[in-house]
Structure formats: structure tokens, C-alpha cells
Chain A
Amino acid sequence: MRSEMILEFQDISKGFPGVQALSKVSFSIQTGEIHAIVGENGAGKSTLMKIVAGLYRPDEGKIILEGQEVDIRNPQIALGLGIAMVPQELNLVPEMTVAENILLGIEPRNHFGMVDRRLLNQKAREILDSLDVQIKTRTALKNLTVAEQQLIQIARALANQCKILIMDEPTAALSEKEKISLFDRLRKLNESNTTILYISHRMEEIFEISHHITVLRDGKLTGTLLRTETNQNQIVNLMIGRELQEFLHVRGARKHIGDPLLEIRGFTKTGEFENINFTLKKGEILGFAGLVGAGRTEVMSSIFGSHAPDAGEIFLGGEKIKIDSPIKAIQAGIGYVPEERKRQGIFPVMSVLHNLSIPFLQKLQKLLVVVTGKEAEIGNQLSSQLRVVTPSLNKQIVHLSGGNQQKVILARWIGSGAHILILDEPTRGIDINAKSEIHALIEKLAGEGKSIILISSETQELLAIADRIIVMREGKIVGELFADETSEEEVLRMAMLNHSQSDRLVFEQAAAA
């Protein structure tokens, strides 16, 4: 491996409204290495890679490519500079053939300016051969597996003479066997002097394939280490030494938790989650921790009936019930606050009041007609109870802040009388004051006997208000912890490392102490 630098980042900063995604990040990538970039959800690794690939522009800082400062204004420029990205969501054309996809935009032409199909297939074949891939060039892309499509995307990068290949969580959708063969190819590519930037939060993989590991935390660089000189324990420590966020709300006195209410048994959906079992008790706040893609949202939307599982049973108060649509879930007394407020939560052109009353309108009707007096009364009562800040309940909901929109959505389910609430990232993208108001509200609801499932990617949030925390990793439940007996570190270790490894880490720590 030559030791000169192919890519250097100097003081890269990038902010979005409400968050500083990257602040003054500086490090270098050596020519011909595999460099892993790791970090928790929201640490800034994807943002950094999007900057390299020309999808975002940094607010400040320089990118030096082979000794020269470059301005990567758009993805075309990145490609021209020899930087190609294999995104998590592949951007291939399903209806086209393998060869057409590989050479998309750079098809060889004949004398008449038409695509030279013979040469096209020949070139594609050469590239695929260099990767040891047997797929036929004339096959339609849609007939390939995800793993094969990923290889086609890599082949496309090679066809564009890429020097730096960015792989964003490439193994998320692959089986173990597919992963091994992908790694073989990446190593081979690397031997032929392609530099690879590898983004992942799977520890084993990173240690298997990379030369250097760069760790980001809260948008800041916490270290670049040589793989042979570090261990998983050290990397995890660099990832999680997060600055303690100031939570305005402090957990209230331990409330009374009642009998088991909702029991989930054997929930399975191939490729998403496997054998999920848990019990939610009356008056309990049950937290779900895990990394993005651990399958938490998928499990919850299956329980709510909007995403059918392959197998699984639901028991409510000891009785088996069948939920095959959200309508049934709502009848069973379950309310769902979805992860994506804009896309799945609010009705943007409707008023605050109409957004609030929508799930229980049928209870407000007389001969089909909505009794507007009663609707307004309930709306006023709930919005003052939840302290929704709006000039009027007749204002369109889009004009409210994110925090107030979220309160309206919560009010919706309180009004409908739901006794089980599933809250998926309820405080994401919400300012600190609204956040603590929502925390207080969740605790109050639990105190009144409502049972709450809380998905959050902020472990500190779960520690602050949940009673128990279930940790998911790659579609499975890997642990269950009492919130007041655990730590952020323990939760994150479970979410990131597999069992045997975390046991070993505990052992190592004990030995060190």
C-alpha cells in the first residue's frame, strides 16, 4: 500500500436547519486503502459521503483530491473526478439490461451515432469479468437479486474509471454468503488500487475489511485509527462518548405499573424481523432502542396492521386478537404516531382542529353530520391540555412548528381514547422545549394508565423516560434492560455488537479494571 493521500478533508462543516451535521471534520484517506467511516445514527457519516459524491456542498472547508483542491458541485463532477458512490437505495434502471445499466450515459456509439450494442455488451463483459461476476450482460436488471444488482452498481462505478468507491451500508440487505462474496470482490478491487470508503455501523464487518477506521460523533471527528492498532471496544467508546444532552425533563417518581396488557408472540417477516416477542404492561413506557434499520418501525407497523407480517400473534388482555388493518388496531384501542410526521402524520391542507378530530369523527356525528360544537369543545380542551401553540384551531396545520404538529397528532389519539400508544421517534426534529413538554406528556399519559411503546434513536431519551428498554439489532431482539439499571453505553453496545462480543467486552473491561 502506498502511503500518499488520495483524499483529504480539511475543516469540513455542514449545517441543516436545526442541526449542525458536520463541524470542522479533518482527516485523510490513503491511496489504495479501505477506509471505514463509523458512527451512531446522525453522527454525520452519510452527510460527509454525500459531500464527497457531490450531492451536498459543504458550508466550509476544503476537499483535496490528489493534492489539488476540488469543488464537487454535483454528482457529474464527482464522477468525472473518479468518485462513485454505491448508495443504499441503488439507482439502477430495472427495465434495462445489465450492460445498459453498467454503461448508462457512456454507451459506445457506432458511426451513425447509435448505441453499438456489440461493443456495449463486450465492454460490460470485460468489467464484469474483472469482478469475477458471471451474470449475463443481456439479462434484464429486474431479474437479478439485490446482491447482484449491487455488483452491477459497482461495475458501473468501474466503467466510469472510478478511483474512489463509496459504499454506503452495503450489507444491510445481504445474506451472510452474499456478504462474503462482496467482501472478496471489494478486496480484489482494492488490490487493483481502487480506494474504498466503507460506511457501516456493523463492527465485525469493519474489522474484517478496513485498514483505517474513522469515527464520527455528533458531526465531529473523534478519531482515525489503524485497524491493527485498535479493537472494537475502543471504537465503540469513541462512538458513544456523546455529550450529555440537557434534558429539561427529569423522570418522575416511579409510577405504578400494572398487569400485562399487550403481548406480541413470534412476529416474523422475512428480511425485516424475526421471532419478536415482548409484553407491554398497563401504565408502562416500553422503549425500543436500536440503530436505523434494526427493524423497529417495521415491527410496530405490523402490530398496527398496516404492514402484514408472515407470522405472529397478538394478545390483548390475555385474549388473542387479529389485527389486519389500522382500522382494527384503532378499534382495539391502539394509536400510532408515525416516524415521518409530514408524510404519514399530518393532513397539511386541513385545519388544526380537523387534524385533531379525524380518528374519532364518527363518535362526533349525528345522522352522519359532524356536531361541530362538540368537535370544537373537545379540540379546545385537548389543545389547551397539551399546550398546542396556534393562533386558532382553524389555522392550517402546516403553519405550526414541528413540535406543535406533533402535539396535535398526540392529541388525536388521546381524543380517540386509545389506551395503547405506539410512538415512533416522537421528538425527532423538534426543539428542546417542545421535546421536554412531549416527554412530560408521555409520562403523564403513562401515569393515567395508558401503555406506551416508544421508539427512539436517542438512547438518552429512552433512559430518561422509559421504564424498560428492548434493544433490537438486525431484525432481532437482542436484549431487555430496566432503564434505571442500565446506561447509554450498555444499550449502544447491545445495539451495535453481537452478544458474544459484548460479553467479551465486559470481560475485557473487568480484566482492565
Chain B
Amino acid sequence: METMTNQSENTMVNSSSQEKLAKRIFSSFVQSQALILLVFLIVVSGVITAMAPRFLQVSNLGVVTRQASFVALVSLGQMTCLIGGVIDLSVGSIAGIAGIFAAMLMNKELVDPYLAMVIGVLIGAAIGAINGLLVTKMDLNPFIVTLSMSFIISGLILVVTGGWAIPDMPQKIQWIGKESLGPVPIPTLITLIVAFILAFFLNRTYIGRHIFAMGGNKDAAILVGIPVHRLTILVYMISGSLAAMAGVIMVARLASGQPTIGATWQMPSFAAPILGGAALSGGAGSVLGTLVGATIMAVIQNGIVMTGMSVYWENVVVGVVLVTAIIIDRIRRQRA
């Protein structure tokens, strides 16, 4: 398992063993396929730059990473589910309803805007908990449960908004979506912090290890005393919270509560983790790989705009990337 934490630990090792260090970084990169992905990212970027040199401008790279951060957050949640051996088809709509709910609270000035955002995230966690309870206590199929949940939520979004955007977001919170710290956009910064914490949780704590074990072999996990029900609920709560977080940050960025928030994030949420080494069969996944995967998705989306292709191609490309990712996953499993 290659992770951000592994890498950060590596960089802390003192310089006397630099050669060893370089080797370790290299081997862990190859293991996670992050290296292959990075090469792929560079190639794609190169092609786009050749066609549209503006791509490499600092201002555009800011746009790309900002764009990537939303998909990355949602994908990190999905990745946690995949590691635990389940799937969450409701992340897109959870992002939507969390954003709309926070926007309504802010629009009506019912609570402090920051508190409104926190409430939005908690709603995401609550929906995740419901998903988890249905899957474990009622023993229902994760695919159907979360797909139904997705329909219920996206329907509710239309019911409460009537399809209209919620305007007039307070100035106070908009920096979260719009500002940058130096060259780094705030949403990107938030995503990196979340990614760091998640990587630490999954790879260093015993609960994280239990999640990997549960996804790797559920029957064996039960027999070594891992509380699989509780952990399944937990991974859905993580997934719901991260999706909701992406949704409320999007509200801050757009300065309005759009009913379409999250609608296009579902598919990339699979593509990014699987490109980054997560297995559809469970038990594997990498935070760093998922971040690179999400960046690839954003670069491709941005490239479509930059090279002047019709934006209608976007869905086609996302679909192709997802299928490619699944094929790579398949080949990887066969070799193992």
C-alpha cells in the first residue's frame, strides 16, 4: 500500500540514507502504480499543452487543481467504501443535498454560515449511516440500497428547490471556494488535508487495518472478531461526509446553491480510485493513487475545454476512462 503518509515519513528520514530512501520511494511508487499514473498524467498534459499552450499557465493549473479537488474529495469517500468491500452510488446526490441544505440555511440566515456548512456535512454523514444500516442490519445489497438512496435524494433536491438555484450566499464564506493560499486554491488545500488525515487513519490505525481486512475477505474478518457491521456503517459515513464536504465547498465557490451540484461526480468517483489502485473486489486502495486519478479526470475535463472540443464529449471521455480503469483493475487482479 502506497500512501501519502508513507511518502511523508520517507521524506523525514535523514539524508545519510538517501540512496535507500530513493529506492524505497521508487518501489512504493511502482507498487501502487502511482508512477505509471503520473507518467500517464504527464503524457496527457503534454498532449493538451501541445494543442493549447495556455494549459500550462499558472492560472489555468489553479483552475485544474480547484476542479480536481471536488472530484478528489468525493472519490476519497468512494475509495474508503471500495476498500471496505462495498460501493456507494449515492455520493453525487449526497453532495447535492448537503450543498442545498447548507445554502437554504444560509439564505434564510437561520444559523451562522460556517455552522450551516458543518450541518451540511453532518447530513452527509447521517445519510451514509442510513446506507450502512440498511446494508448491514437489513442485509440488503449495497448496489441497490445506494442507488435507491441516490434517487430519493436527487428527487428531494428537486422537490425542495423546484429546480431553481438558491441565491444570496453570505460573503463571509465565499473565500473557502474562491480564494487561494499563494498558488494553492483553498479547496485543494482542504482536500490535501483531508487526504492526509484519511491516509493516516486507513494505514496507521487498527480500525483502518480492519477496514482493509473486511474488504479483503469478509468471512475471514468475521472469524477474527472484526465488527464488520459497525465498520460498514463507518465507511458509508466517511463516504457521505466527504461527498457532503465537496458539496458545501462548491456552494461557497459558486456563491449559490445549485440543484445540479454533484450530479456529474458519481462516475468520476469510481474512475479515480480504481485508476489509483483500488480494487472493485475490495481490500485495496491508495489515497495518493486516488488523488492522482482525480487529477487525471480534471485534466481531461479541462483539456476538453482548452482544446476547444465540444463539452458534450465530457461524458463520453469519463465513461471511456472508467471502463479503461476497470480493465486495468481486471488485468492487475489476474496477474496477482
Q: Which of B219, B224, B336 contacts A358 (CB 8 A)?
A: B224
Q: Is B209 in the interface zone, CB < 8 Å from A?
A: yes
The chain A residue with its CB closest to the CB of B227 is: A327
Stretch from A275-283, A343-351, A454-462 at the B interface: A343-351
Cα A347 to Cα B217 with chains together (Å): 6
Q: Is A76 in the interface zone, CB < 8 Å from B?
A: no
B217 close to A346 (CB less than 8 A): yes
Q: Is B257 in the interface zone, CB < 8 Å from A?
A: no
Cα A345 to Cα B216 with chains together (Å): 11
Stretch from B16-24, B159-167, B182-190, B200-208 at the A interface: B200-208
Q: Is B270 in the interface zone, CB < 8 Å from A?
A: no
B224 close to A343 (CB less than 8 A): no
Contact A346 B283, CB 8 Å, known A365-B206, A370-B206: no
B216 close to A348 (CB less than 8 A): yes
Q: Is A510 in the interface zone, CB < 8 Å from B?
A: no
Interface string of B207-243 (1 = CB under 8 A from A): 1011011001101111111110000000000000000
B216 close to A347 (CB less than 8 A): yes
Chain A residues within an 8 Å CB radius of B224: 326, 330, 358-359, 412
B223 close to A344 (CB less than 8 A): yes
Contact A343 B219, CB 8 Å, known A330-B225, A369-B204, A412-B224: yes
A326 close to B225 (CB less than 8 A): yes
Cα A361 to Cα B274 with chains together (Å): 28
The chain A residue with its CB closest to the CB of B217 is: A347
The chain A residue with its CB closest to the CB of B333 is: A349
B204 CB to nearest chain A CB (Å): 5
A-B contact pairs, 13 of them (CB 8 A): A306-B222, A326-B223, A327-B227, A331-B225, A344-B219, A347-B217, A349-B283, A358-B213, A358-B226, A364-B206, A368-B206, A369-B205, A370-B205
Chain B residues within an 8 Å CB radius of A365: 205-206
Interface size in chain B (residues, C-beta < 8 A): 23
A297 CB to nearest chain B CB (Å): 13
Q: Is A354 in the interface zone, CB < 8 Å from B?
A: yes
**20 extra interface residue pairs, beta carbon distance < 8 Å, beyond A354-B209, A354-B212, A364-B206:** A306-B223, A326-B222, A326-B223, A330-B225, A338-B223, A347-B212, A348-B283, A349-B336, A350-B212, A350-B213, A358-B209, A358-B210, A358-B226, A359-B224, A365-B205, A368-B206, A368-B207, A369-B205, A370-B205, A370-B209
Cα A96 to Cα B262 with chains together (Å): 42
Q: Is A336 in the interface zone, CB < 8 Å from B?
A: yes
Q: Is A231 in the interface zone, CB < 8 Å from B?
A: no
B284 close to A362 (CB less than 8 A): no
B118 CB to nearest chain A CB (Å): 23
Cα A359 to Cα B224 with chains together (Å): 5
A408 CB to nearest chain B CB (Å): 12
B137 CB to nearest chain A CB (Å): 14
B-contacting residues, A294-317, CB 8 Å = 304, 306
Chain A residues within an 8 Å CB radius of B206: 361-362, 364-365, 368-370
A45 CB to nearest chain B CB (Å): 29
B210 close to A361 (CB less than 8 A): yes
Chain B residues within an 8 Å CB radius of A347: 212-213, 216-217, 220-221, 283
Chain B residues within an 8 Å CB radius of A346: 217, 220
Cα A336 to Cα B221 with chains together (Å): 12
A155 CB to nearest chain B CB (Å): 33
Chain A residues within an 8 Å CB radius of B217: 343-344, 346-348
Cα A369 to Cα B227 with chains together (Å): 18
B-contacting residues, A396-425, CB 8 Å = 398, 412
Interface string of B264-286 (1 = CB under 8 A from A): 00000000000000010001100
Chain A residues within an 8 Å CB radius of B210: 358, 361
Cα A336 to Cα B219 with chains together (Å): 13
Contact A336 B216, CB 8 Å, known A347-B283, A369-B204: no
Cα A480 to Cα B221 with chains together (Å): 34
A175 CB to nearest chain B CB (Å): 30
Cα A1 to Cα B151 with chains together (Å): 68
